[in-house]
Amino acid sequence: MVTYDAIVVGAGHNGLVAAAYLGKAGKRVLVLERRHVVGGAAVTEEVHPGFRFSELSYVCSMLRPEIIWGLDLPSHGFHVIPQDGSFTPLPDGDFLYYRGDDEEAFQAISRFSKRDAEAMIRYSQRMTRMAKFIAPMLLMTPPDVGSLGPSNLRKLSKLYRHFQSASEAELHAFAQLMTMSAADFLDEWFESEPLKGGLCADGITGAFLGPRSPGSAYMLLHHFVGEVEGAHRSWGFVRGGTGMVSQAIAGAARTHGVEIRTRADVRRILVKDSRAQGVELADGETIRSRIVVSNADPKRTFLKLVDPGDLPSDYARGIQNFNVEGSAAKVNLALSERPDFRCLPGNGPHLTGVITVCPDTEYMEAAYDDAKYGDFSRRPYVDVCIPSLLDPSVAPPGKHVMSMFVQYAPYSLRRGTWRERREEFGDTVIDTMEEYIPGLRKIIVHRQVISPLDVEQEYGLTGGNIFHGEPTPDQLFFLRPVPGWAQYRTPIKGLYLCGSGTHPGGGIMGASGHNAAREILADLRLRRV
């Protein structure tokens, strides 16, 4: 019987990153994926003949440069096409559209407020500095603030020195971002609603928070950390769809000897005497390994794959209390022709950037009101992109793919079930979009509606949470997923976490997998496992 140095449960991008680094270090690694394709939430599939959808994750900017170059992902097919510009169509037929050029942005925003146009320059500079300040923390293993051991004291000292390097203004801004709502934070900078509506979307993406919920400001910074070609708060399409991120990482892993098996459903993680021994598959096959690395979310790992009796009661309680209530859905469309916006008809660069259906913060707050009382939003916030305009490979000639990330869609509905109401939700999204794209229904060739329940059942994310757990301040850094256990290790010796339920959280970032591999290799060197 083959015994591996490590088995990685789940071939999401973080699991593949962890496997690649372990393989690069000479370890014998096996990755097991329940679905027919690697990637987890970062997958591209031909859902309708000729049309390839990035089903869940749809844009890329947060993948750490250290991983891109450390694993030489470009040589495995990874290529990002930058999105250029921000387009917010408005219900009255007006619009706000600006590109990365400072002068063009200044003129566009000045139509609504010259004060805001001037403030936007300062805001971008401040947030870029803050993003550069926080970026090193993404690849840092959080300290255990309850431990006074030498290793933790060194981490705390390093963290203290890092904060000492910040200016007083930056520390003040950091404190605001960690405690304020996105709307209140933006109110301190801007006055025009179309600008605030578009910017505020970053504060709630993937989180069950409204724009006026305390703590939502942090997400503004989280998304500002992303960069494409050195430009912060920039996004891009991966050529071939976001599944190519996962395929590139898988390719890098295979060059280092990593084995990857799909259609391999892990039924349970084998534990004996509080030590991981390997896994058992759904078909009864047992595979032994020295280490098990779970890329599944914390709840799935410890409430389904591990016997609760193998966990300390306080840790099990922490996992039970870890908040994973999902709030987002996807609607993907195959279109017979390019969509035409009422406020800005015709083809143009406004269609190739970030398109945000959120005219003001009150619109978003009203959408959140529906969700917090147990229903999907009657007029939802929709983040739209049309990747086929920049990457024709994802659709037949002359036809297009349109991706719509939608909030709010609560996992738990007060009335009915997602199976009963999935298509009603899809109709609500199309109704909303037809206000901005008249005749959209007539050009739809195929529609894919992915509810939070589908995210859980098909893609394996508990609660339908795209980040494996809410990105709120009480679930970040040394508190993620459980206080005292934020270092990728678990109470079961030889069992590690490497998914987005660990620091630094969600998005196509790869940092959790990178950091987990580093800690595993350190434990192996020191013979702690």
Q: What stretch(es) of the chain map to CATH 3.30.519?
A: 324-459
- Single out the residue of 466, 400, 462, 519 nearest to residue 62, CA to CA: 466
With contact defined as beta carbons under 8 Å apart, do 364 and 358 qualify? yes
Bridging pattern class, strands 86-89 and 354-357:
parallel
Give residue 277's Cα distance to chain centre. Answer: 31
With contact defined as beta carbons under 8 Å apart, do 53 and 37 qualify? no
- At 242 the three-state DSSP class reads coil
- Single out the residue of 475, 469, 465 nearest to residue 326, CA to CA: 465
pLDDT the model gives residue 148: 67
Residue ranges of the chain with per-residue pLDDT less than 50? none
> Regarding the domain with residue range 3-43+242-323+466-525, which homologous superfamily does it belong to in the CATH classification?
FAD/NAD(P)-binding domain (3.50.50.60)
- Single out the residue of 277, 281, 291 nearest to residue 6, CA to CA: 291
Query: Rounded CA gap, 144 and 462, in Å?
Result: 26
Query: Rounded CA gap, 297 and 277, in Å?
Result: 20
pLDDT the model gives residue 230: 58
pLDDT the model gives residue 228: 64
Show the tokens assigned to 42.
């970062």
- At 156 the three-state DSSP class reads helix
Bridging pattern class, strands 95-98 and 381-385:
unpaired
pLDDT the model gives residue 102: 76
Query: Rounded CA gap, 163 and 153, in Å?
Result: 15
- The residue length of the chain stands at 529
Q: pLDDT tens across 142-177, in order?
A: 988 777 677 777 777 877 787 777 788 888 888 998
pLDDT the model gives residue 169: 82
Under CATH, which architecture does the 324-459 domain have?
Answer: 2-Layer Sandwich (3.30)
Residues whose CB falls within 8 Å of the CB of residue 66, separated by 6 or more in sequence, listed in order = 139, 514
Q: What stretch(es) of the chain map to CATH 3.50.50.60?
A: 3-43+242-323+466-525
pLDDT the model gives residue 97: 95
Beta bridge partners of 44: 54
- Single out the residue of 197, 228, 196, 266 nearest to residue 32, CA to CA: 266
On whether the pTM is more than 0.85, the answer is: yes
pLDDT the model gives residue 234: 66
Residues whose CB falls within 8 Å of the CB of residue 528, separated by 6 or more in sequence, listed in order = none
Query: What is the arrangement of strands in the sheet containing 400-407, beginning at the earlier edge strand?
Result: 95-98, 86-89, 354-357, 381-385, 400-407, 328-335, 444-450
With contact defined as beta carbons under 8 Å apart, do 305 and 293 qualify? no
